[in-house]
Structure 1
């Protein structure tokens, strides 16, 4: 007992002496050591990745999934779903989510990485910021880029908009600088706290991700004359992803909370009588997976069984025409009007299962970008080689067997594949249909469709505007009038009207973005 008392006295005296010398710190009750005002960079990376996926990319794709015609919605009774028939208003949330929830995380990661001399974290922040700005620029056109939050001052509530070319130059500069930062000094590993859920601290893969994104955005300029440079795109691809296992994708978790599962996995089915949402795949997508490009020769792509389920009624793959609904039957043909005549959308395969990863950009996409750049440059052999590898890589990813892959290429070759790459439109038909498959439910698909002007010579005759289209905006008698851009959200329109400008649906939906014009 005496020993315990002696120790207690020692502790009290020691605390008193320390208190006398640091009274100010002792009385500073506004600082909570368990809730620091500034977190280290390694604790910010996971938030920047997670919100880039869930808050930004998911919301962005949700807005335009009906436009790209992957899934088809229709109330079992009642009117058509708005997005599917192009009834868009300023009431969607991608813009708000990106600017409020996601990109401040990215900017703070950049600022903290520089402050700590952990330049790999700063580089990762720049890559993620570029992904967000790129999605915004490709959905809306002019965006807030250079005048956004800088990580030091408060967020500017009345920022100026950068036009498309300026935003694209800014995005490329972020990626170029990130590449140099990944070669720079770093004292803390990217996965120090387990936050690098993309690459587990592999800086070389982050660097290749930056190059892959540069290739993507450079390739978007295919209509811009001298701004399109095949050699630069090919070089970026060569520095980008170069093998399986490099895809930048968000991995979802099985058996966790619903927010930890792929959101498309709960987005469908016939179980909700008032709101079935995306309840089946489109007939257009089925056709892409069951016909070869150019010749339209019937051939069932082995990936179809990995992506979607057949109808319970007869085991056949079929889909609906957007806007026609279940009552319209297969592709609006008036037959097959029962629920069992169509496979489900949710939990139907690789892209819509609870643990299906949601990719930002993949190795397959990089190879197909490389194929397009080589095709436009007249490098037929290189274009074909990149095309084959891009398709095969996606097949390997989806679990297609080597035998199925070999049979597929034997059939494609017999159908005139090599000859098709002598012609730009025919070669693009192969590349773009394959990108449509490999980029399933990715907003990048909408960029490709606009760059190709929704061409039936490229995508096939089954690519048609939706039935029951929004005739307030779109001319019902003009099948070549397609949606070109998205409406800014109400909050930005009301708070910053001078910068937003004309936000009417007719102007926004019909006006091509800068890269979508010659």
Structure 2
């Protein structure tokens, strides 16, 4: 709902929906503000919102999707979200509404007070690719960007087919699709991940697979 509100131009609604969703998710794990004991616990709870969701005027699609990632952690739908947003981060130079979606900019730097503050929550981390898993197939020229470290083609967007059955019983269809024994097939976007809405802006002019 928050995502739909955001792209419909209702940023206030999107912010409130996201804020309340985070509260409900915390409560799901037994973190209820009114039941917290001690000032430190209450301060940490409130500080989280001051740092990560400070207000409607500063709210971005990155804030929304990062909190959605936390709320839906380990759910398969997360991969759909990341593919829909083309793994948007400073690493590949893709932005939505002017911001890299999966680049976190408010990580506690570990300095000063033991309780994070807005001032010392200034470490940045961008989504990265596990090079050790990709190098045999993905170390290709069009996987690297000029204005960003990597291009939009540097991430997996499909699951590999089952070679035990598909090769044997469905080879003709695999060949028709161009998937048969072709690692490049894993880079070909799902039809709903193309930038048909023009919401995505890429740092490089590399043709998206």
TM-score band, normalised by shorter chain? 0.5 to 0.7
- Counterpart of 1:451 (choices 77, 84, 103) is 84
- Counterpart of 1:441 (choices 74, 78, 83) is 74
Alignment of 1:301-380 (within 5 A): 370-380=1-11
The 1:505–1:435 alpha-carbon spacing in structure 2 relative to 1, beyond 3 Å, is farther
In structure 2, what is the Cα distance between the partners aligned to 1:414 and 1:467?
Answer: 31
The 1:496–1:449 alpha-carbon spacing in structure 2 relative to 1, beyond 3 Å, is same
The 1:506–1:515 alpha-carbon spacing in structure 2 relative to 1, beyond 3 Å, is same
- Counterpart of 1:418 (choices 56, 69, 75) is 56
- Counterpart of 2:12 (choices 381, 384, 397) is 381
The 1:488–1:410 alpha-carbon spacing in structure 2 relative to 1, beyond 3 Å, is same
Shift, 1:398, TM fit: 1.2
Shift, 1:472, TM fit: 3.1
Contact 2:85-2:193 at 8 Å conserved across structures: no
In structure 1, what is the Cα distance between the partners aligned to 2:3 and 2:30?
Answer: 25
Unpaired segments ≥5 residues, structure 2: 90-99, 104-124, 145-149, 197-209
In structure 1, what is the Cα distance between the partners aligned to 2:18 and 2:162?
Answer: 38
- Counterpart of 1:429 (choices 62, 66, 81) is 62
Root mean square deviation of aligned Cα: 2.4
Q: Is the partner of 1:473 in helix, strand or coil? A: helix
In structure 2, what is the Cα distance between the partners aligned to 1:448 and 1:496?
Answer: 29
More helix by share: 1
Find the structure with the greater CA-based Rg: 1
In structure 2, what is the Cα distance between the partners aligned to 1:451 and 1:405?
Answer: 36
Contact 1:485-1:510 at 8 Å conserved across structures: yes
The 1:399–1:515 alpha-carbon spacing in structure 2 relative to 1, beyond 3 Å, is same
Shift, 1:407, TM fit: 4.9
Shift, 1:453, TM fit: 1.5
| 1:489 has 2:159 as partner | no
The 1:376–1:388 alpha-carbon spacing in structure 2 relative to 1, beyond 3 Å, is same
Query: C-alpha offsets along residues 312-343 of structure 1, whole Å, 9 cap, x if unaligned?
Result: xxxxxxxxxxxxxxxxxxxxxxxxxxxxxxxx
Calculate the TM-score normalised by the size of structure 1. 0.26
Calculate the TM-score normalised by the size of structure 2. 0.60
What's the counterpart of residue 512 of structure 1?
A: 189
Query: C-alpha offsets along residues 91-139 of structure 1, whole Å, 9 cap, x if unaligned?
Result: xxxxxxxxxxxxxxxxxxxxxxxxxxxxxxxxxxxxxxxxxxxxxxxxx
The 1:391–1:406 alpha-carbon spacing in structure 2 relative to 1, beyond 3 Å, is farther
| 1:398 has 2:5 as partner | no
Query: C-alpha offsets along residues 169-191 of structure 1, whole Å, 9 cap, x if unaligned?
Result: xxxxxxxxxxxxxxxxxxxxxxx
In structure 2, what is the Cα distance between the partners aligned to 1:392 and 1:382?
Answer: 15
Shift, 1:405, TM fit: 7.4
Q: Is the partner of 1:472 in helix, strand or coil? A: helix
Shift, 1:406, TM fit: 7.8
